[in-house]
């Protein structure tokens, strides 16, 4: 049984009320609802939030599994991993089923496509790993042009090899994670405290579909990309 989780908080500091804010023709969160509904691999969709307006909007958009999150799971310091656990247990109790995989879809990545969801699920099932996360190749690489500052403000490369990398194309491939899709095996969710402790794989997706809205500039840029996509058909 595959459960899509869509978890949102009412408070957003970078872009106030961004989850319900209109993005062209519909609220931001609805892009993710529509994408999840399009996947034939997802059995059920559940929404978790501390915000009544968000929960009401989810219900009006056909989401049948609505869960009001506790205050302790809604703070800035609350772990999303703990939110996943809470959602799974409450859904299982309500539906009288056992979840096999949770597919978390962050509403702040509205340009993800259904193929990114389905390919992530396929990767999980085929390879039998604990977690599959979407990622994209960033413009910076820790083996080539990313530095960290240590003692006495001395800067060094984040990752060093025996032989220096002099051409970016020769550097090992790294990925910047995007919360477009996280597929988590139920056992891993309850056996680990964080996804980084588990056996993970990356499902690479194009950068233009991986943009995570965290600032007003992000919102405007995604709006531009969606408008351009609509104009191009």
Domain ranges of the chain: 2-137+175-232, 139-173
What gap in Å lies between CA 215 and CA 204, rounded to an integer?
Answer: 23
Q: Does residue 102 contact residue 186 with C-beta atoms inside 8 Å? A: yes
Q: What is the pLDDT of residue 164?
A: 86
pLDDT at 190: 96
- The CATH number of domain 2-137+175-232, selected from 3.90.550.10, 3.40.1190.10, 3.40.50.1820, 3.40.50.261: 3.90.550.10
How much is the CA Rg of the chain, to the nearest whole Å?
Answer: 19
**Residue-level pLDDT, tens digit, the chain, 233 residues:** 999 999 998 877 778 889 999 999 899 999 999 999 999 999 999 999 999 999 999 999 999 999 999 877 877 777 889 999 999 999 999 999 999 999 999 999 999 999 999 999 999 999 999 999 999 999 888 888 889 999 999 999 999 888 888 888 888 899 999 999 999 999 999 999 999 999 999 999 999 999 999 999 999 999 999 999 888 86
Burial of 191 (0-12, 13-18, 19+ CB in 10 A): exposed
pLDDT of residue 117: 98
Q: Beta strand 2-8 with 44-49: parallel, antiparallel or unpaired?
A: parallel
Write down the pLDDT at residue 170: 84
Cα separation, 175 vs 141, whole angstroms? 9
pLDDT at 51: 92
Count CB-CB contacts under 10 A for residue 104. 21
- List, for residues 71-115, the tens digit of each pLDDT value: 778 777 778 899 999 999 999 999 999 999 999 999 999 999 999
Helix (H, G, I), strand (E, B) or coil at 161: coil
Backbone angles phi, psi at 223, to 5 degrees: -60, -45
pLDDT of residue 42: 98
- Nearest Cα neighbor of 134 from 107, 172, 104, 173 is 104
The per-residue pLDDT for 169 is 84
pTM metric for this prediction = 0.91
Yes or no: say if 32 and 22 are a contact pair by the CB < 8 Å rule: no
For residue 202, the model assigns a pLDDT of: 98
What is the average pLDDT value for the chain, to the nearest integer? Answer: 93
């Amino acid at each position: 049984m595959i459960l899509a989780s869509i978890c949102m908080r009412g408070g957003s500091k970078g872009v106030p009320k961004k989850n319900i804010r209109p993005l062209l023709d519909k609220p931001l969160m609805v892009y993710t609802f529509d994408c999840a509904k399009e996947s034939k691999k997802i059995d059920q969709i559940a929404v978790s939030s501390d915000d009544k307006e968000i929960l009401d909007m989810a219900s009006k958009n056909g989401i049948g599994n609505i869960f009001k999150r506790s205050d302790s799971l809604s703070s800035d310091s609350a772990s999303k991993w703990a939110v996943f656990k809470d959602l799974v247990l409450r859904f299982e109790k309500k539906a009288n089923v056992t979840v096999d995989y949770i597919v978390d879809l962050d509403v702040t990545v509205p340009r993800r496509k259904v193929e990114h969801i389905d390919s992530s699920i396929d990767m999980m099932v085929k390879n039998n790993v604990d977690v599959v996360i979407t990622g994209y190749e960033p413009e910076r690489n820790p083996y080539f042009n990313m530095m960290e500052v240590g003692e006495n403000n001395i800067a060094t490369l984040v990752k060093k090899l025996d032989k220096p990398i002099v051409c970016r194309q020769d550097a090992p491939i790294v990925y910047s994670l995007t919360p477009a899709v996280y597929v988590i095996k139920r056992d891993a969710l309850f056996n680990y405290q964080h996804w980084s402790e588990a056996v993970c794989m990356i499902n690479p997706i194009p950068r233009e579909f991986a943009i995570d809205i965290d600032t007003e500039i992000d919102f405007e840029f995604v709006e531009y990309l969606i408008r351009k996509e609509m104009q191009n058909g």
